[in-house]
């Protein structure tokens, strides 16, 4: 089996397993909080821009104002919405699995589940902790800066943190480790794009519960993804690849 | 199986360049998949992945 196919199969199987478990965790922990937050959507936004908006276009009385997906397709609440969450979670597991397994191949390939969990913890630091410091997990209806700017900062922070961790773990000189620390700190000094005001209709306690649930669920996700990939890799790779 | 033996024998001689290319393609596929799930601005994709984007702290909305 070629190396590419080995990576593909390990990532796919680990991603499916992690995605199924991860979506079950989310559907019982974070998704109910998202649904609860959506009941605040419109209430906060309607207050400030309401006078200007009524002047430009008319809403039928009693119609809920909604900033997006008014006419576009979206899954129906309930089973359909959760089915898409499972699908998206499996794809997320597959995508992150590809990155995790590919990166570990550069270091010689995973040899067992325990080593895989260590790589999973690195993934947790790179994709959850580092971007989450500047852009904490957000609920619907919370104010946020420009989406594209946040996406650029998120990707840049993850990339810099991954490179920094690699320099610390595999760099041959102390100088490289220091450079690694600098790479990890730099995006946090630059700072994530922030909204003009943090005023939000979402109760602080609801947001706090959501942040905790999200980070714990991510920790489980990454431990499982790394552990499964580390367990599968020696079983799927043919000697010599 | 003779084919598998010859295949793994060939694989053991895989050059560093070939390994690097295969690892790169696997990583690019991962970036492509995550780009679709977590970062696509297409409205239908956003709506389908909405809860996952929030729950995994991808930038959303």
Q: What is the pLDDT of residues A161-216, one digit of tens each?
A: 999 999 999 999 999 999 999 999 999 999 999 999 989 999 999 999 999 999 99
Task: Please indicate whether, in this complex, the C-beta atoms of B49 and A68 are within 8 angstroms of each other.
Answer: no
CA distances from A74 to A60, A78, A139, B45 (A): 22, 12, 18, 9
Answer yes or no: is pLDDT of B3 > 50: no
Residue A90, C-beta contacts closer than 8 angstroms, at least 6 positions apart: A15, A16, A19, A20, A23
Structure tokens at A211: 């942040």
Instruction: Tell me how far CA of residue A234 lies from CA of A10, A90, B14, in angstroms.
Output: 10, 22, 18
- The complex's ipTM works out to 0.85
Could you identify the residue written with the tokens 């959850």? A128
Q: Is the pLDDT of residue A239 over 60?
A: yes
Cα separation, B46 vs B58, in Å, equals 11
Confidence bin at B60 (pLDDT 50/70/90): confident
Flag whether residue B11 sits within 8 Å of chain A, measured between CB atoms. Answer: yes
- Residues in chain B within 8 Å Cβ distance of A85: 51-52, 55
Region A98-112 average pLDDT: 96
Q: Which of B36, B8, B40, B61 is nearest to A92 (CA)?
A: B36
Taking CA A127 as the corner, what is the angle to CA B50 and CA A131, rounded to the nearest 5 degrees?
Answer: 85
> 3-state DSSP call for residue A198?
coil
Cβ count near A204 (within 10 Å): 8
Q: In terms of Cα–Cα distance, which of A198, A97, A186 is closest to A133?
A: A186
**Residues of B (25-44) whose Cβ lies below 8 Å from A:** 25-27, 29-34, 36-39, 41, 43-44
pLDDT at A135: 95
Residue A226: predicted pLDDT: 98
Cβ within 8 Å, pair A241-B14: yes
For the cut 60, the answer to whether the pLDDT of residue B46 exceeds it is yes
Q: Could you tell me how many residues make up chain B?
A: 61
């Amino acid at each position: 089996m070629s190396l590419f196919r080995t990576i593909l199969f390990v990532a796919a199987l680990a991603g499916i397993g992690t995605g199924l478990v991860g979506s079950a965790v989310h559907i019982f922990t974070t998704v109910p909080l998202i649904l609860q937050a959506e009941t605040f959507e419109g209430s906060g936004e309607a207050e400030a821009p309401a006078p200007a908006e009524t002047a430009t276009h008319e809403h039928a009385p009693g119609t809920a104002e909604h900033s997006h997906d008014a006419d576009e397709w979206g899954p129906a609440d309930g089973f359909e919405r959760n089915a898409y969450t499972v699908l998206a979670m499996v794809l997320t597991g597959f995508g992150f699995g590809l990155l995790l397994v590919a990166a570990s191949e550069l270091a010689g390939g995973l040899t067992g589940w325990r080593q895989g969990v260590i790589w999973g913890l690195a993934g947790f630091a790179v994709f959850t902790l580092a971007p989450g410091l500047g852009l904490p997990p957000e609920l619907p209806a919370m104010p946020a800066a420009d989406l594209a700017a946040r996406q650029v900062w998120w990707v840049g922070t993850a990339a810099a943190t991954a490179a920094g961790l690699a320099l610390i773990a595999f760099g041959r000189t102390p100088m490289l480790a220091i450079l690694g620390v600098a790479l990890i700190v730099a995006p946090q000094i630059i700072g994530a794009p922030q909204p003009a005001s943090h005023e939000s209709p979402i109760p602080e306690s609801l947001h706090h519960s959501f942040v905790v649930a999200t980070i714990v669920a991510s920790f489980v996700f990454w431990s499982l993804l790394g552990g499964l990939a580390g367990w599968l890799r020696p079983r799927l790779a043919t000697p010599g690849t | 199986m003779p084919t598998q033996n010859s295949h793994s024998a060939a694989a053991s001689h895989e050059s560093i360049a070939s390994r690097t290319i295969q690892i790169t393609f696997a990583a690019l596929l991962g970036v492509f998949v995550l780009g679709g799930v977590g970062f696509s601005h297409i409205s239908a994709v956003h709506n389908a992945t909405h809860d996952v984007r929030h729950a995994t702290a991808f930038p959303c909305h």
